[in-house]
Structure 1
Amino acid sequence: MLNIWILEDHQLEIKFNAQEKRITVTDKRVNKSWEQLPFDRDWYITEISQSGNTLQVDLQGIITMTVTIALTEQSEVTFKLSADSHAALEKISFPPAFMAPNPDHYVLQTDSQGLLLPVTDNVYPLEEQPLYFCGGGAAMAWLGVTDSAFETGYMAIVESPFDAGFDLKREQGLITFTPTWFNTMGTFGYERKVRYIFFHQGGYVAQCKRYRAYAWPQNKVISLKENEKRFPAIAKILGAVHIYTWDKAREVDFARKLKRAGIEKAMLLWDANHLPYPEEDYDTRLKELGYATGAYELFTDIHPEGYTGNAEIEWIPLKRNVYPGLFEKITSRKSDGSTYSNQYGTYVCPEAVLPEMVKRVEKELQIYPHETYFVDVYQANGLYECHHEDHPLTRQQYAEAIVRNYKYLEDHYNTFLGAEFGADFAGSHAVYAHGMMTLQRTWFNSDIQKEGSIYHLGDWKNNERPSVMLGTRTATDTYLTYSINEYTRVPLYELVYHDAIVTSWRWEDANHHSPEIWWKKDLFNILYGSAPLWSIDQDRWESFESTFVESYQRVCPWLQQICYDELLSHRFVSEDRHVQETLFSSGKRAIVNFGDKHYRYEEEIIEPRGFVIHE
């Protein structure tokens, strides 16, 4: 057996060292090599064959597997994993990671909006997580690496994403990532595929645009402009502030107060798990004011029979997570028959819930003719198998059932939808994705759950006025370092989806929840073209009214100019990265200054914590 096997074209050389069981990719355009870690020692090579620029490697290990490595006509490298579909499997991590050639690189972390994670970072929590899980998994089916000049790098697009994830680790002092392939119903199931693209220029912007070219047709994404033709009310949320209302803010008089204060465009949402309910003609009267109307929805949680909170449905008639007598019938099941659960409840199978979903939505829309529903959890909690004998689902079928439920709401009730997080398997069925501006993993090692701390996130104990929604708190050190740090934040999600999906902060992490960084969140909204989000009652509005109005006036008129645009590029203007620029497809540019000093830009002075718009 030969020791060295080579695939080659005018851009790349792929060298497989069979003795060391590792691959090296050399980008001839810049003479840069990316070396893979060796295959796990438990994999044994039994045979290798080559046909042109395709290499077939037969492996024996956890299972018997064939890996087909191809250098495509587009100078991209694909790995296809095939095996007996019935072979028992827990998971496989393969191919091994390509190491950054030196410490001067970043991992492009696609958990939420986007983070430049230095490969030398030794604090950020790394773990193996499935795709589409907001607790550490990627929102988009790719990760990448770029150099600090934002030119060379590579990305890995997972083309069979439903039973897949990424395993992030520190190897030899540097952060790496490897695709992980989970079993499907206990078996290998089907061919798995990942595509590596190597870049000689363009950095993270080029990688985002390559993923956009893949994901839009793959996930049937359409633009906001196209979606608006079907749902004209979408126009109301573009360039608008998105508002969750609580307590007396659910009165029409409060909406009138917003209008008089100059809040011209807004989407008002309320959560029917919490009292008081608005008056019955609430939606109609909001529409008369020109506001978008909608509600929070949730189809994923249930509590066991006998749970004390279930009785609340007697006085909270549209309560979201109560399905009397149906716990055994509609819950998702693991292979051992047990249920999935977290702190909020037990998971409901999306295939089984549709009849109950229809009952509640039809009851509600007779009273409140919403234009939109924010559907919590579906695009944030990852994908699961259901082994219930009445509604078994693979993870892919689980995703397809979610999309069918979305389509049912759209088709039967003419409502457009929003989502928590922005897992992109759902394509354009979620027009807005609340939470993408909040980098989900950045509250680690902090006191956000410590009552009495200035960092405490709050809680849900008060039904009408939950402190987690209506309180204020000080941003933690880890949040300041990772989530709101202009030095390492990048708009990866916007570079792919800005003209298809409107993003915002999380509802417990709204623009105003940490007042000392409100200005900074506004600047990120301006820079990225994303929506501000408020979670308020009448008292909170009155306490901060002038700042709310100023925030709206700073951000929203600009968003109205570029709400249909593709985000073409983002760049750091100043060496300290305090000054940044985004360019939109209309030709308009936003230049923001996160610093505390004036900055001269193209013969113009940008104020500290200020911005300018160029057309």
Structure 2
Amino acid sequence: MKFLLYALLLAPSVLFGQIIQNESLSFEADSTSNTLVIRDARTNHTWTADLANCLSDADITKWGTLGQTSFDAFSITEITQRAEHQLKVTVKEARTGKGHSMIVTLDGPNVSFEVFTDDVGAPFAALGLPPMFTTNMKAGYLTFCDRSSGVLKKQDDTGVGYNEALLTVYGNTNCLNIPLVGVFDQTTGDAMMLQIESPLDANVRLSRKDGLIWPEPVWQCSMGTFAYPRRVTYRFIDKGGYVKMATLYREYQQKRGMLKTLEEKARDRPAVKRMEGAPILWAEASDAAFLKKLRNVGFTHAILAIESSPAENRKWSELGYIPLGYDSYGDISEGPLGFQSDSIQENGHMLPTGEMMTGWTTTDPSGRVIKQYYLRSSSKYLDAAMAYSQTRISEANRSGNFIDVMMAMTLMEDYHPKHTSDRKTDLKYRREVFQYYLQKGLVIGTEHGNDWGVDLVDYTEGGLSGPNWWIPGTNTSGWNAGHLRAPVSRADFSPEYLKYGLPTQRIPFWELVYHDCVATTWYWGDSAGWFGKVAPEIKTLKDLVTLLYGDMPLFWSEVKFDWKNDSAEHLETFYLTVPSMRDKFGVQMTAHEFVTDDLQVQRTTFANGSETVVNFGEKTFEYKGEQLPKNGFYCSGPNLQQRRVLRDGQLVTWVKTDQFFYCDSPAPIDELPLSISGRIVLFKMDDTQWNLVLTGAAGDTVELPDAALASQIGKTKYRVCGFDDEWNTTEPRAVDGMVVTFGNKVYALTD
């Protein structure tokens, strides 16, 4: 009898449902209703997928991406139990009769689908299996990383952005830089994470059912065929929401060997340690005098993206900076093998149509194209790196290299007859270039940062920005972040940009996974300093998001930013974000939470005990006895105290570490003996010198207690120097008395 029952259990069924289950989940394939059903015993959620309308085909654009999609009714033709927790479900398309199958496996709270087609070598474009799973949630949200730290969108939100979208895994825009989409209930924390485990030829489709947005996988052809089995796993979560999702994905990446921390990277390449407390600063060789001034008002460390001479680069390196090279392997114009130069016909990337693929364009302010680049084949990237890296990097005395575009560009197929490659091979070629530069001991940065390369880079530029700066506002001739044109009016900003820049529409999902592995900053034309004149509230918001996430600010020198008129605003960004970044550099973000129901008060915590609370809302919020007004914050860490709070109804801001002190207050604060009326900044330059910045003081003279100064700088005896017009220190004067008098200037406190 037992043998007969087991035989029946394993026999195929086409007339009724078949179930597999474990302690957490059950999965049922029902040929009668033509549905797939997952039941979560912990949350009592039932997830249902209907095979009546599955994505079955798509046009392929000349760029190799999916275009117009079409759908068909699929029917279950066979269900076979292969093991205790595994079923094989076979389906057929109604219109074409094509057959596909899914091997479904339960593993704890996870359901995996391995998808096959009957003829892997037959012409193929796209397939949506398994179909969309839906359930009932009280307050459902979607989250994913679309060239961003993390998008947050309510499922019933019909406003702009992500209503009907096809997100390409490891794409450029409309993409996923982490191969997953999560759905969670904000009230309970119950969640489902759709994780693409065959990410190189994959998309996730977002579409509505009964007014709510849900995700589903869409598999894309590889060189015109299905080529190989595809795998997706649905991870079901009982409480924990997006933070638990990030934890699970981090564990997955750790098992795959992709989770390499900045501490580990610094052991292999000591230059990485210099990133601690170092923002990005784009500058020109002509900025030498400006940079000397900037160093004396606080920029004592920076990743300095500057085209300087080898001697100048050596000097900056000796001061503790990271002189950075700029590199780009994709974009080329016709010429000999070299930097952005190559034979387009021989070494260019060829589209399926036989055309050579175009790349970046340079334009004038009116949008007229000045120069059109083409794309180099990734099979030739390493040849180019080896051809000119010695001159541009090693002989130039650079300790870092920014490789633009390569980790932002969509993975592509090359149809050139001399170097044909699929996306898997394209990825291999790209990784080889990063590995080549790692062997040189360099700090490596890149644009955007798809997570196929997080083990290879140290910082990514643009993850804080997201993709929506690509979408122009009604004024199309104004701001252009890619071409570094400053905003001229609020009409420059699209509704999508304004919406998904809000803190209530974003979460630090990327940081929850990778904060200790990769530093993250804003896109070079979208950092805070571009917005002070036209939209100061955007500038403030960007500073606060950088602070909350413990991320890296990005600056431009006088070549792009108006330091002459806006220096106080740019320096405020530095003073408020860099000490926090230093406190959390290479430290895991352990949690992010919305403290209030309106999502306006948010809190992050880190593995070293640091926490940051920011109030983005209009209402004052009390936290640990402090009153946080709109844009107020409370930060603490092993070596950080930072506040923007109300004291007696007045706004006061301060930052204090062992090497830095900043305070901006209408009057002195009793607990901070170095506070004044106005702004004071005191920071360590090196072991022999601290600089005191009093240009923001309210009066012409400032009196500071000698004991308080001595305590902060750790020296009982010191002398005071001023600076001349070229930022050289003047003759020092001794300190005599209990109070030291200063003017409204910058001073050096020296041994």
Q: Which residue of 2 aligns with 1:386?
A: 414
Q: Secondary structure at the match of 2:265?
A: helix
Q: Percent identity?
A: 25
Q: Which residue of 2 aligns with 1:76?
A: 110
Q: Which residue of 2 aligns with 1:206?
A: 244
CA RMSD of aligned residues (A): 2.3
Q: CA deviation digits over 1:240-272, x for unaligned, max 9?
A: 2111124733x3x332211101122211114xx
Q: Which residue of 1 aligns with 2:705?
A: none
The question of 1:499 aligning with 2:516 is answered: yes
Q: Secondary structure at the match of 1:352?
A: helix
Q: Which residue of 1 aligns with 2:43?
A: 30
Q: Which residue of 1 aligns with 2:30?
A: 17
Q: Which residue of 2 aligns with 1:457?
A: 480
Q: CA deviation digits over 1:490-529, x for unaligned, max 9?
A: 0000000000010011001012111212121111111111
**1:166-205 superposed matches below 5 A:** 166-205=204-243
The question of 1:289 aligning with 2:340 is answered: no
The question of 1:47 aligning with 2:78 is answered: yes
- Aligned counterparts of 2:124 and 2:246: Cα–Cα separation in 1: 33
Deviation of 1:132 (Å): 1.2
Q: Which residue of 1 aligns with 2:709?
A: none
Deviation of 1:347 (Å): 2.0
Q: Which residue of 1 aligns with 2:378?
A: 350
Q: Which residue of 2 aligns with 1:273?
A: none
Q: Which residue of 2 aligns with 1:414?
A: 441
8 Å Cα contact 2:402/2:446 also seen in 1:
yes
Deviation of 1:362 (Å): 1.7
8 Å Cα contact 2:29/2:79 also seen in 1:
no
- Aligned counterparts of 2:35 and 2:310: Cα–Cα separation in 1: 66
Q: Which residue of 2 aligns with 1:138?
A: 176
Q: Secondary structure at the match of 2:577?
A: helix
User: Which residue type is aligned with residue 349 of structure 2?
Assistant: S
Distance 1:390 1:298, change over 3 A: same
Distance 1:320 1:514, change over 3 A: farther
My pick for the range that moved more, 487-496 or 176-185, is: 176-185
The question of 1:437 aligning with 2:464 is answered: yes
Q: Which runs of no fewer than 5 residues in structure 1 stay unpaired?
A: 271-276, 461-466
Q: Which residue of 2 aligns with 1:56?
A: 88
Deviation of 1:582 (Å): 0.4
- Aligned counterparts of 2:422 and 2:481: Cα–Cα separation in 1: 37
Q: CA deviation digits over 1:370-427, x for unaligned, max 9?
A: 111111111111100112222221101111110011111222x322311111101113
The question of 1:254 aligning with 2:290 is answered: yes
Deviation of 1:190 (Å): 1.1
The question of 1:573 aligning with 2:595 is answered: yes
Distance 1:349 1:219, change over 3 A: farther
The question of 1:520 aligning with 2:541 is answered: yes
Normalising by structure 2, report the TM-score. 0.74
Alignment: residue pair count: 581
The question of 1:124 aligning with 2:161 is answered: yes
- Aligned counterparts of 2:394 and 2:113: Cα–Cα separation in 1: 52
Q: CA deviation digits over 1:311-368, x for unaligned, max 9?
A: xx9xxxx984222xx1111112233422333453322111123222222222213552
Deviation of 1:458 (Å): 6.6
- Aligned counterparts of 1:185 and 1:380: Cα–Cα separation in 2: 21
- Aligned counterparts of 1:198 and 1:553: Cα–Cα separation in 2: 42
Distance 1:358 1:150, change over 3 A: farther
Distance 1:236 1:544, change over 3 A: farther
Q: Secondary structure at the match of 2:183?
A: strand
2:357 to 330, 340, 358: 340
Q: Secondary structure at the match of 2:454?
A: helix
1:94 to 124, 129, 141: 129
Q: Secondary structure at the match of 1:128?
A: strand
8 Å Cα contact 1:219/1:425 also seen in 2:
no
Q: Which residue of 2 aligns with 1:274?
A: none
The answer to which structure, 1 or 2, has the higher relative contact order (CA under 8 A, 6+ apart) is: 1
Q: Which residue of 1 aligns with 2:659?
A: none
8 Å Cα contact 2:285/2:308 also seen in 1:
no
2:557 to 536, 559, 562: 536
My pick for the range that moved more, 604-613 or 504-513, is: 604-613
Distance 1:362 1:89, change over 3 A: same
- Aligned counterparts of 1:21 and 1:246: Cα–Cα separation in 2: 64
2:101 to 52, 56, 66: 66
8 Å Cα contact 2:27/2:36 also seen in 1:
yes
Deviation of 1:38 (Å): 2.6
Q: Which residue of 2 aligns with 1:463?
A: none
- Aligned counterparts of 1:510 and 1:108: Cα–Cα separation in 2: 23
Q: Secondary structure at the match of 2:546?
A: helix
Q: CA deviation digits over 1:144-168, x for unaligned, max 9?
A: 1011226011001111111111122
User: Which residue type is aligned with residue 626 of structure 2?
Assistant: E
Deviation of 1:110 (Å): 1.7
8 Å Cα contact 2:381/2:430 also seen in 1:
no
- Aligned counterparts of 1:481 and 1:529: Cα–Cα separation in 2: 22
Deviation of 1:568 (Å): 0.4
The question of 1:322 aligning with 2:322 is answered: no
8 Å Cα contact 1:205/1:570 also seen in 2:
yes
User: Which residue type is aligned with residue 554 of structure 1?
Assistant: L
8 Å Cα contact 1:103/1:120 also seen in 2:
no
Distance 1:54 1:407, change over 3 A: same
Deviation of 1:443 (Å): 5.2
Q: Which residue of 2 aligns with 1:464?
A: none
Distance 1:342 1:366, change over 3 A: closer
- Aligned counterparts of 2:596 and 2:284: Cα–Cα separation in 1: 42
- Aligned counterparts of 2:149 and 2:281: Cα–Cα separation in 1: 20
Deviation of 1:563 (Å): 0.9
User: Which residue type is aligned with residue 540 of structure 1?
Assistant: D
Q: CA deviation digits over 1:59-91, x for unaligned, max 9?
A: 23364322111111x231000012343232111
- Aligned counterparts of 1:153 and 1:444: Cα–Cα separation in 2: 31
- Flag the structure with higher strand content: 2
My pick for the range that moved more, 191-200 or 141-150, is: 141-150
Q: CA deviation digits over 1:266-310, x for unaligned, max 9?
A: 11114xxxxxx533422111112211110221100123x4xxxx7
My pick for the range that moved more, 416-425 or 116-125, is: 116-125
User: Which residue type is aligned with residue 601 of structure 2?
Assistant: V
8 Å Cα contact 1:26/1:34 also seen in 2:
yes
Q: Give the greater-gyration-radius structure (CA).
A: 2
8 Å Cα contact 1:103/1:174 also seen in 2:
no
The question of 1:428 aligning with 2:455 is answered: yes
Deviation of 1:36 (Å): 1.8
2:189 to 151, 157, 181: 151
